[in-house]
A = this chain, B = another copy of it.
Protein backbone atom coordinates (compact mmCIF):
# COMPACT_ATOMS: atom_id res chain seq x y z
CA UNK A 1 0.00 0.00 0.00
CA UNK A 2 1.49 3.28 -1.06
CA UNK A 3 0.42 6.61 0.44
CA UNK A 4 -2.40 7.12 2.87
CA UNK A 5 -5.62 5.24 2.48
CA UNK A 6 -8.61 7.19 1.22
CA UNK A 7 -12.29 6.53 1.58
CA UNK A 8 -12.21 5.04 -1.91
CA UNK A 9 -9.77 2.39 -0.78
CA UNK A 10 -12.11 1.46 1.99
CA UNK A 11 -15.08 1.46 -0.34
CA UNK A 12 -13.23 -0.91 -2.60
CA UNK A 13 -12.31 -3.24 0.26
CA UNK A 14 -15.81 -3.22 1.63
CA UNK A 15 -17.50 -3.57 -1.73
CA UNK A 16 -19.64 -0.50 -1.25
CA UNK A 17 -19.64 3.01 -2.67
CA UNK A 18 -17.49 5.78 -1.33
CA UNK A 19 -20.64 7.64 -0.28
CA UNK A 20 -21.57 4.85 2.02
CA UNK A 21 -18.12 4.80 3.54
CA UNK A 22 -18.30 8.49 4.27
CA UNK A 23 -21.68 8.11 5.88
CA UNK A 24 -20.68 5.07 7.86
CA UNK A 25 -17.64 6.73 9.32
CA UNK A 26 -19.72 9.63 10.48
CA UNK A 27 -22.11 7.15 12.07
CA UNK A 28 -24.99 8.22 9.94
CA UNK A 29 -28.19 6.35 10.83
CA UNK A 30 -28.78 5.92 7.12
CA UNK A 31 -26.25 3.14 6.96
CA UNK A 32 -27.04 -0.44 7.83
CA UNK A 33 -25.66 -1.43 11.21
CA UNK A 34 -23.72 -4.35 9.86
CA UNK A 35 -22.25 -2.44 6.94
CA UNK A 36 -21.16 0.31 9.24
CA UNK A 37 -19.35 -2.08 11.54
CA UNK A 38 -17.59 -3.67 8.60
CA UNK A 39 -16.47 -0.33 7.28
CA UNK A 40 -15.22 0.78 10.66
CA UNK A 41 -13.23 -2.39 10.97
CA UNK A 42 -11.61 -1.94 7.60
CA UNK A 43 -10.85 1.70 8.33
CA UNK A 44 -9.13 0.73 11.52
CA UNK A 45 -7.17 -1.97 9.82
CA UNK A 46 -5.91 0.39 7.14
CA UNK A 47 -5.19 3.05 9.75
CA UNK A 48 -7.44 5.35 7.82
CA UNK A 49 -8.01 8.88 9.05
CA UNK A 50 -10.47 11.31 7.57
CA UNK A 51 -8.68 14.10 5.75
CA UNK A 52 -9.71 17.18 7.68
CA UNK A 53 -8.83 19.52 4.85
CA UNK A 54 -11.22 17.82 2.51
CA UNK A 55 -13.85 17.41 5.13
CA UNK A 56 -13.57 20.97 6.37
CA UNK A 57 -13.52 22.37 2.89
CA UNK A 58 -16.77 20.77 1.98
CA UNK A 59 -18.57 21.26 5.26
CA UNK A 60 -17.19 24.77 5.75
CA UNK A 61 -16.15 24.34 9.32
CA UNK A 62 -12.86 23.52 10.90
CA UNK A 63 -13.54 22.12 14.34
CA UNK A 64 -10.86 24.48 15.52
CA UNK A 65 -10.75 27.56 17.68
CA UNK A 66 -7.99 30.15 17.51
CA UNK A 67 -6.60 31.71 20.65
CA UNK A 68 -4.89 35.03 20.18
CA UNK A 69 -2.78 35.98 23.16
CA UNK A 70 -1.78 39.60 23.27
CA UNK A 71 1.56 40.17 24.79
CA UNK A 72 2.48 43.35 26.45
CA UNK A 73 4.97 44.55 23.89
CA UNK A 74 7.51 45.56 26.47
CA UNK A 75 7.44 42.31 28.35
CA UNK A 76 10.31 39.89 28.17
CA UNK A 77 10.23 37.34 25.45
CA UNK A 78 10.42 34.27 27.58
CA UNK A 79 8.06 35.48 30.24
CA UNK A 80 4.38 35.14 29.96
CA UNK A 81 2.02 36.08 32.69
CA UNK A 82 1.22 32.84 34.53
CA UNK A 83 -2.35 33.94 34.81
CA UNK A 84 -2.77 33.80 31.06
CA UNK A 85 -0.92 30.57 30.88
CA UNK A 86 -3.36 29.20 33.37
CA UNK A 87 -6.16 30.48 31.18
CA UNK A 88 -4.50 28.91 28.20
CA UNK A 89 -4.49 25.62 30.05
CA UNK A 90 -8.12 25.75 30.96
CA UNK A 91 -9.13 26.90 27.50
CA UNK A 92 -7.19 24.06 25.97
CA UNK A 93 -8.92 21.61 28.20
CA UNK A 94 -12.34 23.09 27.58
CA UNK A 95 -11.73 22.83 23.85
CA UNK A 96 -10.62 19.24 24.07
CA UNK A 97 -13.73 18.43 26.00
CA UNK A 98 -15.91 19.99 23.34
CA UNK A 99 -14.06 18.17 20.61
CA UNK A 100 -12.38 21.26 19.23
CA UNK A 101 -8.74 21.80 18.46
CA UNK A 102 -6.96 24.93 19.56
CA UNK A 103 -4.69 27.08 17.47
CA UNK A 104 -2.51 29.31 19.61
CA UNK A 105 -0.92 32.49 18.43
CA UNK A 106 0.96 35.19 20.28
CA UNK A 107 0.27 38.58 18.89
CA UNK A 108 2.22 41.69 19.46
CA UNK A 109 -0.18 44.54 19.88
CA UNK A 110 1.51 46.61 17.22
CA UNK A 111 1.17 43.80 14.75
CA UNK A 112 -1.26 43.86 11.99
CA UNK A 113 -3.07 40.75 13.14
CA UNK A 114 -1.83 38.82 10.22
CA UNK A 115 -3.57 35.70 11.29
CA UNK A 116 -7.16 36.03 10.26
CA UNK A 117 -7.83 32.51 11.25
CA UNK A 118 -11.51 32.55 10.69
CA UNK A 119 -11.38 34.35 7.36
CA UNK A 120 -9.13 31.70 5.94
CA UNK A 121 -11.24 28.95 7.44
CA UNK A 122 -8.56 27.63 9.74
CA UNK A 123 -10.80 28.30 12.71
CA UNK A 124 -14.48 28.65 13.37
CA UNK A 125 -14.01 31.35 15.96
CA UNK A 126 -11.50 33.32 17.95
CA UNK A 127 -10.75 33.91 21.60
CA UNK A 128 -8.90 37.09 22.47
CA UNK A 129 -6.84 37.13 25.61
CA UNK A 130 -4.50 39.63 27.15
CA UNK A 131 -3.97 42.75 29.18
CA UNK A 132 -2.28 45.69 27.69
CA UNK A 133 -2.72 48.90 25.93
CA UNK A 134 -5.81 48.63 23.86
CA UNK A 135 -5.58 51.79 21.88
CA UNK A 136 -6.25 50.59 18.37
CA UNK A 137 -7.44 47.27 19.63
CA UNK A 138 -10.99 48.45 19.92
CA UNK A 139 -10.98 49.56 16.34
CA UNK A 140 -9.96 46.11 15.23
CA UNK A 141 -12.72 44.58 17.31
CA UNK A 142 -15.25 46.73 15.58
CA UNK A 143 -13.95 45.54 12.27
CA UNK A 144 -14.14 41.91 13.36
CA UNK A 145 -17.66 42.48 14.54
CA UNK A 146 -18.73 44.06 11.27
CA UNK A 147 -17.17 41.23 9.29
CA UNK A 148 -19.29 38.81 11.25
CA UNK A 149 -16.28 37.07 12.74
CA UNK A 150 -17.14 34.91 15.72
CA UNK A 151 -15.09 36.01 18.66
CA UNK A 152 -15.15 36.30 22.40
CA UNK A 153 -12.87 38.53 24.38
CA UNK A 154 -11.48 38.11 27.87
CA UNK A 155 -11.21 41.29 29.80
CA UNK A 156 -13.02 44.16 31.33
CA UNK A 157 -16.75 43.98 30.93
CA UNK A 158 -18.11 47.37 30.02
CA UNK A 159 -21.16 48.86 28.40
CA UNK A 160 -21.14 49.54 24.72
CA UNK A 161 -18.14 47.40 23.88
CA UNK A 162 -17.92 45.80 20.51
CA UNK A 163 -18.64 42.11 20.59
CA UNK A 164 -18.92 39.76 23.51
CA UNK A 165 -16.71 39.95 26.56
CA UNK A 166 -16.19 37.59 29.44
CA UNK A 167 -14.38 38.81 32.47
CA UNK A 168 -14.19 38.83 36.22
CA UNK A 169 -15.63 41.61 38.30
CA UNK A 170 -12.52 43.70 38.67
CA UNK A 171 -14.28 46.55 40.41
CA UNK A 172 -15.59 44.22 43.08
CA UNK A 173 -12.19 42.57 43.42
CA UNK A 174 -10.47 45.90 43.96
CA UNK A 175 -13.16 46.93 46.37
CA UNK A 176 -12.88 43.76 48.44
CA UNK A 177 -9.11 44.00 48.69
CA UNK A 178 -9.16 47.58 49.81
CA UNK A 179 -12.01 47.14 52.23
CA UNK A 180 -10.13 44.30 53.84
CA UNK A 181 -7.00 46.40 54.15
CA UNK A 182 -8.92 49.23 55.74
CA UNK A 183 -10.60 46.88 58.16
CA UNK A 184 -7.15 45.64 59.13
CA UNK A 185 -6.22 49.16 60.08
CA UNK A 186 -4.40 50.39 56.99
CA UNK A 187 -4.96 54.00 56.13
CA UNK A 188 -2.73 54.93 53.19
CA UNK A 189 -3.14 52.45 50.42
CA UNK A 190 -0.98 52.69 47.33
CA UNK A 191 -1.95 51.18 44.00
CA UNK A 192 0.58 49.85 41.54
CA UNK A 193 -0.53 49.05 38.02
CA UNK A 194 -1.77 50.99 35.05
CA UNK A 195 -4.77 52.94 36.22
CA UNK A 196 -5.56 54.50 32.90
CA UNK A 197 -8.35 53.61 30.53
CA UNK A 198 -5.78 51.84 28.39
CA UNK A 199 -5.85 48.87 30.65
CA UNK A 200 -9.50 48.59 31.58
CA UNK A 201 -9.07 45.68 33.98
CA UNK A 202 -6.52 47.51 36.06
CA UNK A 203 -8.56 50.66 35.83
CA UNK A 204 -11.59 48.86 37.25
CA UNK A 205 -9.52 47.41 40.07
CA UNK A 206 -8.25 50.85 40.90
CA UNK A 207 -11.71 52.33 40.82
CA UNK A 208 -13.00 49.61 43.09
CA UNK A 209 -10.20 50.37 45.47
CA UNK A 210 -10.93 54.09 45.45
CA UNK A 211 -14.57 53.40 46.06
CA UNK A 212 -13.74 51.37 49.17
CA UNK A 213 -11.47 54.11 50.47
CA UNK A 214 -14.13 56.74 50.03
CA UNK A 215 -16.82 54.57 51.46
CA UNK A 216 -14.71 54.25 54.62
CA UNK A 217 -14.61 57.99 54.90
CA UNK A 218 -10.95 58.24 53.90
CA UNK A 219 -9.45 60.25 51.08
CA UNK A 220 -7.82 58.86 47.96
CA UNK A 221 -4.27 60.07 47.53
CA UNK A 222 -3.76 60.10 43.77
CA UNK A 223 -0.02 60.33 44.20
CA UNK A 224 0.03 56.85 45.61
CA UNK A 225 -0.89 55.39 42.24
CA UNK A 226 2.10 54.25 40.21
CA UNK A 227 2.05 52.93 36.68
CA UNK A 228 3.36 49.44 36.01
CA UNK A 229 2.93 46.66 33.54
CA UNK A 230 2.45 43.15 34.72
CA UNK A 231 5.98 41.89 35.32
CA UNK A 232 8.09 41.48 38.43
CA UNK A 233 10.64 43.91 37.03
CA UNK A 234 8.05 46.56 36.46
CA UNK A 235 6.63 46.05 39.95
CA UNK A 236 10.08 46.27 41.43
CA UNK A 237 10.78 49.52 39.65
CA UNK A 238 7.38 50.94 40.55
CA UNK A 239 7.95 50.20 44.22
CA UNK A 240 11.20 52.14 44.13
CA UNK A 241 9.34 55.03 42.52
CA UNK A 242 6.75 54.85 45.22
CA UNK A 243 9.39 54.98 47.95
CA UNK A 244 11.06 57.93 46.30
CA UNK A 245 7.86 59.93 46.66
CA UNK A 246 8.33 60.10 50.43
CA UNK A 247 4.60 59.92 50.82
CA UNK A 248 3.47 57.85 53.78
CA UNK A 249 1.81 54.54 52.92
CA UNK A 250 1.14 51.39 54.89
CA UNK A 251 -0.27 49.12 52.20
CA UNK A 252 0.24 48.41 48.50
CA UNK A 253 -2.45 46.96 46.33
CA UNK A 254 -0.85 45.57 43.19
CA UNK A 255 -2.83 45.06 40.01
CA UNK A 256 -1.30 41.63 39.51
CA UNK A 257 0.63 39.02 41.47
CA UNK A 258 3.68 39.44 39.29
CA UNK A 259 3.78 43.10 40.17
CA UNK A 260 3.29 42.22 43.83
CA UNK A 261 6.24 39.85 43.77
CA UNK A 262 8.48 42.57 42.44
CA UNK A 263 7.12 45.00 45.00
CA UNK A 264 7.76 42.62 47.87
CA UNK A 265 11.30 42.12 46.70
CA UNK A 266 11.94 45.85 46.49
CA UNK A 267 10.40 46.68 49.85
CA UNK A 268 12.27 43.95 51.65
CA UNK A 269 15.52 44.99 50.12
CA UNK A 270 14.87 48.42 51.61
CA UNK A 271 14.49 46.86 55.00
CA UNK A 272 10.73 46.84 55.34
CA UNK A 273 8.88 43.99 56.91
CA UNK A 274 5.83 42.62 55.22
CA UNK A 275 3.15 42.74 56.45
CA UNK A 276 4.31 44.41 59.68
CA UNK A 277 5.43 47.65 58.05
CA UNK A 278 3.61 47.42 54.76
CA UNK A 279 0.79 45.18 53.67
CA UNK A 280 0.98 43.91 50.10
CA UNK A 281 -1.85 42.42 48.06
CA UNK A 282 -1.74 41.02 44.55
CA UNK A 283 -4.26 39.92 41.99
CA UNK A 284 -4.75 36.70 39.99
CA UNK A 285 -3.83 34.02 42.53
CA UNK A 286 -1.12 32.53 40.38
CA UNK A 287 0.10 29.15 41.62
CA UNK A 288 3.21 30.56 43.17
CA UNK A 289 1.46 33.20 45.22
CA UNK A 290 1.15 30.77 48.08
CA UNK A 291 4.75 29.68 47.87
CA UNK A 292 6.52 32.97 48.26
CA UNK A 293 7.34 34.41 51.65
CA UNK A 294 5.20 35.83 52.99
CA UNK A 295 2.37 34.03 51.26
CA UNK A 296 0.55 36.51 49.12
CA UNK A 297 -2.95 37.80 49.72
CA UNK A 298 -4.58 38.06 46.34
CA UNK A 299 -7.78 37.87 44.35
CA UNK A 300 -8.67 34.68 42.62
CA UNK A 301 -10.16 34.60 39.21
CA UNK A 302 -11.51 31.17 38.54
CA UNK A 303 -9.54 30.32 35.43
CA UNK A 304 -11.07 26.91 35.02
CA UNK A 305 -14.55 28.34 34.97
CA UNK A 306 -13.42 31.26 32.84
CA UNK A 307 -11.95 28.97 30.21
CA UNK A 308 -15.09 26.92 30.09
CA UNK A 309 -17.32 29.95 29.83
CA UNK A 310 -15.16 31.46 27.11
CA UNK A 311 -15.23 28.32 25.02
CA UNK A 312 -18.90 27.65 25.57
CA UNK A 313 -19.85 31.19 24.77
CA UNK A 314 -17.78 31.14 21.62
CA UNK A 315 -19.29 27.86 20.49
CA UNK A 316 -22.76 29.22 21.10
CA UNK A 317 -21.87 32.21 19.05
CA UNK A 318 -20.58 30.04 16.25
CA UNK A 319 -23.86 28.19 16.34
CA UNK A 320 -25.73 31.45 16.07
CA UNK A 321 -27.22 31.17 19.49
CA UNK A 322 -27.93 34.26 21.51
CA UNK A 323 -25.06 34.92 23.89
CA UNK A 324 -24.34 37.59 26.41
CA UNK A 325 -21.44 39.36 27.94
CA UNK A 326 -20.78 37.66 31.27
CA UNK A 327 -19.19 38.85 34.48
CA UNK A 328 -17.67 36.20 36.71
CA UNK A 329 -17.17 36.71 40.44
CA UNK A 330 -13.79 37.54 41.95
CA UNK A 331 -12.77 36.05 45.27
CA UNK A 332 -10.45 37.57 47.86
CA UNK A 333 -7.89 35.09 49.17
CA UNK A 334 -6.42 36.28 52.44
CA UNK A 335 -2.91 35.07 53.20
CA UNK A 336 0.00 36.46 55.17
CA UNK A 337 1.16 39.43 53.14
CA UNK A 338 -1.72 41.70 54.07
CA UNK A 339 -1.50 41.14 57.78
CA UNK A 340 -5.25 40.73 58.03
CA UNK A 341 -6.90 37.89 59.86
CA UNK A 342 -7.20 34.80 57.79
Contacts and interface: CB of A to CB of B under 8 A. Distances in A.
Interface of A: 4, 47, 49-54, 56-57, 62, 64, 77-80, 82, 85-86, 88-90, 92-93, 96, 101-106, 115-117, 119-122, 147, 232, 261-262, 265, 268, 287-288, 291-293, 303-304
Given A102-B105, A103-B103, A261-B288, 9 more contacts: A47-B147, A49-B119, A49-B120, A51-B57, A53-B53, A53-B62, A79-B287, A101-B115, A265-B291
A336 B315 CA distance: 49
A92 B105 contact: yes
A85 B77 CA distance: 12
A265 B293 CA distance: 9
Nearest to A89: B80
A104 B102 contact: yes
Nearest to A257: B288
Contacts of A120: 49-52
A184 to B, nearest CB: 23
Contacts of A147: 47
The 8 residue pairs across chains A and B that have the minimum distance between CB atoms: A53-B57, A49-B119, A49-B120, A53-B56, A85-B85, A52-B120, A104-B104, A261-B291
Contacts of A4: 119
Contact of A93 (B50, B77, B89): B77
A276 to B, nearest CB: 16
Contacts of A265: 291
Contact of A52 (B92, B121, B288, B293): B121
A121 B3 CA distance: 13
A123 to B, nearest CB: 9
A304 B77 CA distance: 8
Nearest to A61: B53
Contacts of A103: 64, 101-104
Nearest to A50: B120
